[in-house]
Amino acid sequence: MELEGRVAAVTGGGSGLGRFIVEALRAAGARVVVADIAPGEGVTLADVATDSGRAAVLTAAQSAGGLDVLVNNAGGWSIGGAQFPGVAPSAWRAAVELNLLAPMALVQDALPALRRSRGAVVNIASSAGVETSAYGSPEYAAAKAALIRFTTAVADWRDRYGVRVNCIVPGWIGLDRAHRELAAMSPAERAGAPALIAPAAIAAQVLRLARDESLAGRVLGMPNGSQEPSFLP
Ligand SMILES: NC(=O)c1ccc[n+]([C@@H]2O[C@H](COP(=O)([O-])OP(=O)(O)OC[C@H]3O[C@@H](n4cnc5c(N)ncnc54)[C@H](O)[C@@H]3O)[C@@H](O)[C@H]2O)c1
């Protein structure tokens, strides 16, 4: 797919990794709906964990001319330090809602528009969803694992609907927050920390998955310490 003149929507596009994805899509000539729960310049205010928020994303895309590329980037741990099982079910369910159910619901809502454009979806998962070691936020890890499986489970949408859904699985990303956390570590801890993944490198892979019409239901791993992204078998 040629991205010039296309319409893309990026959830959580107001800051963090999403901001890099928005910039890369704009540099490729796409018009971008920047959907975020936090206000900002050019942002379509939308909590994608709600029906009304998802409707706002699709309305904004429609106003821009349709929807060609949907990037499900909004995600993260639940608010606050405590995680499952130390928080109430409402708190950990919110993490599952944001990282799994919201992307699935948005894909479902967007499917008619994506069928019209023969569009593409890129889901942003996490290496937490593929690793087999203990992880501090089990609800986040479980939701990301399910998002990965959702992606592969709809591989046949390319043939059924003309819509391609792919996924990126990044490790720890080199955003400002990560650099601050590294700076707060002792030299010994820092020496043992993995190499961060450049957010611009992830954004470049989002564009690759959106463009390459041979890719559907694929999961692209970008773990810490690896030089090249590679598809999971
Ligand atoms: N940061 C990392 O090291 C890392 C590693 C692996 C995967 N990821 C994944 O990458 C994606 C982006 O991570 P990040 O660190 O940039 O995230 P972030 O916490 O910085 O948030 C990104 C944006 O999402 C927005 N957002 C949060 N909840 C929202 C909602 N309900 N509706 C709409 N917008 C919402 C925030 O306002 C923010 O602008 C997430 O899916 C995350 O799980 C991040």
| CA dist., res. 198 & res. 158, Å (int) | 30
pLDDT at residue 78 greater than cutoff 80: no
Residue 229 lies in a domain: no
pLDDT mean over 134-148: 96
Nearest CA to ligand 1 atom 15: 16
Mutate to test the pocket of ligand 1, among 173, 179, 197 (most ligand atoms within 8 A of CB): 173
Evaluate whether residue 227 is within a structural domain: no
Residue 194 burial (CB count, 10 A): 12
56 within a domain of the structure (yes/no): yes
pLDDT at 233 over 90: no
Arithmetic mean of pLDDT over the chain = 96
Q: Which amino acid is at 199?
A: P
Q: Which residue has the tokens 């290496």?
A: 127
CA distance linking residue 38 with residue 197, whole number of Å: 25
Q: How confident is the model at residue 226, as a pLDDT?
A: 80
Q: Is 98 in the pocket of ligand 1 (CB under 6 A)?
A: yes
Instruction: Report the sign of the C-alpha dihedral through residues 98, 145, 185, 20, in that order.
Output: negative
Q: Is 76 in the pocket of ligand 1 (CB under 6 A)?
A: yes
Decide if pLDDT at 164 tops 80. yes
CATH number at residue 147: 3.40.50.720
- Cβ distance 174 to 197 under 8 Å? yes
Question: Is residue 186 one of the residues assigned to a domain?
Answer: yes
Q: How confident is the model at residue 70 (pLDDT cuts 50, 70, 90)?
A: very high
228 in any annotated domain = no
Query: In which band, very low, low, confident or very high, does the pLDDT at 23 lie, cut at 50, 70 and 90?
Result: very high
Q: Tell me the residue length of the chain.
A: 233
Dist. CA 30–CA 87, nearest whole Å: 41
Q: Which domain holds residue 49?
A: 7-222
Residue 81 clears pLDDT 80, i.e. is over it: no
Residues taking part in catalysis:
140
Q: Are 19 and 79 in contact (CB under 8 A)?
A: no
Number of domains in the chain: 1
Q: How confident is the model at residue 227 (pLDDT cuts 50, 70, 90)?
A: confident
Cα gap 75→206, rounded to integer Å: 16
**pLDDT digit string, tens, across residues 93-117:** 999 999 999 999 999 999 999 999 9
Query: What is the pLDDT averaged over residues 199-203?
Result: 97
- Give the pLDDT of residue 82: 76
Whole-angstrom distance, CA of residue 129 vs CA of residue 145 = 4
Q: Does residue 1 register a pLDDT over 90?
A: yes
**Model pLDDT, residue 86:** 92
Cα of 144 from ligand 1 centre, angstroms: 12
> What was the pLDDT predicted at 172?
96
**Residue 28 CA, ligand 1 centroid: distance in Å:** 22
